[in-house]
Structure 1
Amino acid sequence: MSIGSIRIAFFADSYKEVDGVALTSRKLVEFARERNYPFLCVRAGDSTRVEKTGSFTEVILKRSAAALSLDTQLKYDPLFNRHARRVRKELEEFAPDLIHITGLNDVSIIGSWLANRLQIPMAGSWHTNIHEFAANRLKKTLGFLPAAMSGSIADLAEKWILRGSVFYYRMPKLNLAPNEEITSLLSSGTGRVSRLMGRGVDAEFFNPAKRTVNDSKLRLGFVGRLRSEKNVRLLADVQTAIDKAGLTNYKFLIVGDGSERGWLEKRLKNAEFSGYLSGEALAEAYANMDIFLFPSLTETFGNVVQEANASGVPAIVTDKGGPKFIVQDGETGFISHGTAEFSANVVKLMKAPSRLGLMKQRSREFAESRSWSAVFESVYQAYFEALRIADEQKSAILEKEK
């Protein structure tokens, strides 16, 4: 069997949403379609239908009115299993060699259940630290309790959600993870082979040539959901540090939306809030930034960091989560240990225009080496490895039965 002949059924928990997980899913589908690989994609959509073009099949399933909002756009439908019979029919017709699940949401739950029922080998990819997100939001919800108590409850919830998540990922033959820490976590926690699945960036689309502002004002940018798990309130601390340093020629450019927007609008005195952007408007916004600020503590990767780099914008990130594996400290940005250092790094770079210029150049050079094609070629190698593992396990069982 050649790599391109492997028949993949891909269950995408996030696809049309505005986030890095959905982007990665769409890029994988695009990669397979461009190469005419046999590929079936199951995802949620605005209506239930099946679309077939050549070797590509798309099964789109509508969520019910009972669907719960997990985020601004992402939902979970407790009645989604009503689609299982339809999906099974399409799977049996497509005859996949491997099922690829992407998380613990409604779409992948159907995928994992049918993989077990139909005895189809499975690969899994970890995209979201749901345990950290849940703990963060729970702590915020329990804000009326003493800090020590709400913190203890949130920590306990995080521990148990993580344990359940890792248990779920014991089902696949092989797991894919966005950074080295999660790769190690899955490997040790599941006993399964785990491989790194990075992310690419379109360095032609995200390009510093798309800059449209030419004044002397430094623009400090953020792109993403304005939610508590993104730690966006740290931007107010950055503003305080900049003001204390006596710097005035700056502006925040905030791209995105969410529950924290109102809080930020009240406190950031010199900021432009654009809401969600896409296409050329997003590429232009990135190119108009000078320093990218990404204070998230729970990110598994950080596609936006690479998009900023491709636009010639160095990034300042925390030492938690995936972005620290993207940033080359002191070259394409800074990895910050705590709020004070994060703010200090912003001030330091604002005061050093020559260094900022050099870091812009290096950020662009780095991003040019991160192609989506290379990422998905390695994913297909992992698919091949998962099938080999499944075959070896099957042979071992047959040998024991002799």
Structure 2
Amino acid sequence: MSHHPRVAFFTDSYHETNGVAHTSRHLEAFAKREHIPFLCVRAGKESEKFQDESITAVEFKRSSIGFGLERDMRFDFLMWRNLKNALQAARDFRADLVHITGPSDIGQIGARIAFLLKVPLVISWHTNLHDYAGKRLEKLLAFLPETQCKTIAGWGERNALKATLRFYKLGRQLFAPNEELVDLLKHGTEKPTSLMQRGVDTEIFSPLKRDSEDNIFRLGFVGRLSPEKNVRFLAEIEKSLLDAGKSNFRFLLVGDGSERSWLENHLRHATFTGILKGEALSKAYANMDAFLFPSQTDAFGNVILEAMASGVPCIVTDQGGPKFLVQHKVNGLIARNEREFVTAVIDMMSQSQNHEHMRLAARQAACGASWDRVFEKVYEDYRVCLHSQNLIETRNQFAAAR
């Protein structure tokens, strides 16, 4: 085995616009920069296999038999038809271990292949699936009385968590993006769990990309406009700002999703850009004055780092991963409830000197978040996992010889 483990990486999202895809592309890019052999299995427009220096990519076209997870992503019930080809690709690659990003259609195949090849399975946690299940059930059952709706949604959330933890018990090594989830997985699965945070490119996302000079205070959001992001709360924020006599502001919402039409009908001072990429996204971030992230379900929040790298202080809730990225009253604000969130927005708009200090602190904090450092630690954990596997196999061989 070479110095770097040969990893077969099965990701449920690569080409889409979300945190899992973003992290997956950066992990592949790291392996390419370091000339590390790396197999990436994912869904694509067509089923194909191609080589790019040290990277081997295998893509499978999803069928129409399944259900939608997002506008640009589906769960394919027939993905298992690709098991034979995926297994052969992993064998040809001579994988030392398999890393999957969760219990998706692609992830399930990866877990099966790890079992068939008798190599360690590594599973990383990227999405709080149980929280998403609860939020979506709550929206689906909104026609019921509120108490009954919340009771059923809570039941769904609890059982989704139990099912997810059962799946993660299959892993030899687990990764989680924040300390709370590390503890959850350690206690829920009794498996070794390491912190796997995220990085940000501070050249792509930079205050230097700002070109707005109209003195309008822009309140930004980047991400899926979906129920679990709690984006309808933005309409409450707008109403509170107007009631407080604030008028020189505008929401800048970057992204798309099922809640977009509702927001377009309920926000009076907002610009909707749709999904942006590249330089357009960098400029959008840099032109924001505050980044609002009312989600209570995000496991990490890549967009928080991107906003901070752009010199934009963030306001987040005290639920989920984003609160671990923000230092309260240093580079942003953390709100314990909706009232505190609204107050935080008003304070940030009103206190120009503090706002400028937070801008500088946000940029400084983001400059310490390096993708290379994140993945160097991941590869170290891969090596520890393989060493542990070798020790177990050696003990088993001694036991069998007695």
What's the offset of the Cα at 1:308?
Answer: 0.3
Q: What corresponds to 1:174 in structure 2? A: 173
After TM superposition, the structure 1 = structure 2 runs for residues 69-218 of structure 1, keeping only pairs within 5 Å, are: 69-218=68-217
Q: What corresponds to 1:46 in structure 2? A: 45
| CA RMSD of superposed structures (Å) | 1.0
Q: What corresponds to 1:315 in structure 2? A: 314
In the alignment, structure 1 residue 283 sits paired with structure 2 residue 266: no
Amino acid at match of 1:123: V
Q: Work out the CA distance in 1 between the residues paired with 2:3 and 2:337.
A: 44
Amino acid at match of 1:189: G
What's the offset of the Cα at 1:388?
Answer: 1.5
Q: Work out the CA distance in 2 between the residues paired with 1:317 and 1:354.
A: 20
Amino acid at match of 2:31: A
Q: Secondary structure at the match of 1:40?
A: strand
What's the offset of the Cα at 1:244?
Answer: 2.2
Q: Secondary structure at the match of 2:39?
A: strand
Q: Secondary structure at the match of 2:50?
A: strand
CA deviations 1:73-92 (Å, max 9, x no partner) are: 12110000000000111111
Percent identity between matched residues is: 45
Verify the 8 A CA contact 1:3 1:380 in the aligned structure 2: no
Q: Secondary structure at the match of 1:58?
A: strand
Q: What corresponds to 1:65 in structure 2? A: 64
Verify the 8 A CA contact 1:122 1:386 in the aligned structure 2: no
Amino acid at match of 2:179: E
Q: Work out the CA distance in 2 between the residues paired with 1:262 and 1:50.
A: 39
After TM superposition, the structure 1 = structure 2 runs for residues 221-300 of structure 1, keeping only pairs within 5 Å, are: 221-300=220-299
In the alignment, structure 1 residue 360 sits paired with structure 2 residue 359: yes
Count the aligned residue pairs: 401
Q: Work out the CA distance in 2 between the residues paired with 1:2 and 1:194.
A: 24
What's the offset of the Cα at 1:55?
Answer: 2.8
What's the offset of the Cα at 1:370?
Answer: 0.5
Q: Work out the CA distance in 1 between the residues paired with 2:141 and 2:238.
A: 28
Q: Secondary structure at the match of 1:70?
A: strand
Q: Secondary structure at the match of 1:281?
A: helix
Q: Work out the CA distance in 2 between the residues paired with 1:244 and 1:142.
A: 31
What's the offset of the Cα at 1:170?
Answer: 1.1
Q: 1:115 to 1:130 in 2, by over 3 A?
A: same
Amino acid at match of 1:242: L
Q: What corresponds to 2:396 in structure 1? A: 397
Relative to the length of structure 2, the TM-score reads: 0.98
Q: Which consecutive segments of 4 or more residues in structure 1 shift more than 4 A?
A: none
Q: What corresponds to 2:34 in structure 1? A: 35
What's the offset of the Cα at 1:143?
Answer: 1.2
What's the offset of the Cα at 1:397?
Answer: 2.4
Segments of structure 1 that go 5 or more residues without pairing to the other structure are none
Verify the 8 A CA contact 2:28 2:55 in the aligned structure 1: no
What's the offset of the Cα at 1:2?
Answer: 5.6
Q: What corresponds to 1:25 in structure 2? A: 24
Q: Secondary structure at the match of 2:253?
A: strand
Q: Work out the CA distance in 1 between the residues paired with 2:244 and 2:389.
A: 60
Segments of structure 2 that go 5 or more residues without pairing to the other structure are none
Verify the 8 A CA contact 2:326 2:334 in the aligned structure 1: yes
Q: Secondary structure at the match of 2:285?
A: helix
Relative to the length of structure 1, the TM-score reads: 0.98
Q: Work out the CA distance in 2 between the residues paired with 1:23 and 1:244.
A: 38
Q: Work out the CA distance in 2 between the residues paired with 1:350 and 1:80.
A: 49
Q: Work out the CA distance in 2 between the residues paired with 1:266 and 1:57.
A: 46
